[in-house]
Amino acid sequence: MSVHIRVITRNLPHIYQHQPRSKTTVTAASSSAAAAAHEKKQQEVLAYRLSEISLLKMRAEALSREPDLRHVVGNASINRVANNAVHEDLMQRIAAFERRQRRRREHRKPVPVDKELDIESVNAALLELEIAGERGRWAHTLCSRRIEE
């Protein structure tokens, strides 16, 4: 009987021979919010990957010897849907970023008048910047001379 099995499995591709069973692990989410956040992240990643994969498949089909228009149209429709999801994700991220920036600006404390910078400290800082700029120009000149040698 083992001879018959060996003959049958010899004709199957190597992938199907002696595949170890994958162990499935069950992990409990700490909360439903964490599970929802994980699922949302997976959907975002899926949209980006689908967009990239469908674009690569369209390019590959277009460069093949005999391109099949059905494959190109199918990949184009998948790409369009994935790009819409990516666009929505990016717009949500931009809106969230702008909300955070707006909150930061609103929470800034106004500088009291007595702690404002006076003109002398501004002039001192300007002088230091000019000195640093002059040193930078000298360093640039010396480095360019060394390179020319």
DSSP assignment of 111-129? PPGGGSPPHHHHHHHHHHH
Given this model, what pLDDT does residue 71 score?
Answer: 92
Establish if 75 belongs to a structural domain.
yes
Q: Is residue 141 in some structural domain?
A: no
- Domain total for the chain? 1
pLDDT for 41 beyond 80: no
Please tell me the predicted confidence (pLDDT) of residue 115.
55
Provide the pLDDT for residue 35. 77
Q: Which pLDDT score, from 0 to 100, does residue 6 have?
A: 47
User: Which helix or strand (DSSP H or E) is residue 89 part of?
Assistant: helix 69-107
| pLDDT the model gives residue 77 | 93
On the question of pLDDT at 61 being above 70, the answer is yes
Is residue 9, in this structure, part of any structural domain at all? no
Q: Is the pTM of this model over 0.75?
A: no
Q: CB neighbours of 9 closer than 8 A, spacing ≥ 6?
A: 16, 17
- Contact between 75 and 89 (Cβ < 8 Å): no
Determine, yes or no, domain membership for 124: no
Question: Is 134 or 52 the better-scoring residue by pLDDT?
Answer: 52
pLDDT tens-digit series, residues 70-105: 999 999 999 999 999 889 988 988 999 999 888 888
Proportion of the chain above pLDDT 90, given as a percent:
20
Is residue 91 domain-resident?
Answer: yes
User: C-alpha angle with apex 139: 137 to 143, nearest 5 degrees?
Assistant: 120
Q: What does the mean pLDDT of the chain come to?
A: 76
pLDDT at position 76, please?
93
Instruction: Give the structural domain span for 72.
Output: 34-108
Is 7 among the domain residues? no
Within-domain flag for 67: yes
Rounded Cα gap, residues 67 and 61, in angstroms? 5
Nearest to 92 by CA among 35, 32, 47: 47
User: Tokens 């009987």 map to which residue?
Assistant: 1
Q: How confident is the model at residue 108 (pLDDT cuts 50, 70, 90)?
A: confident
Q: Would you say residue 126 lies in a domain?
A: no
pLDDT > 70 in the chain, percent: 68
Residue type, 116: E
3-class state of residue 95 by DSSP: helix
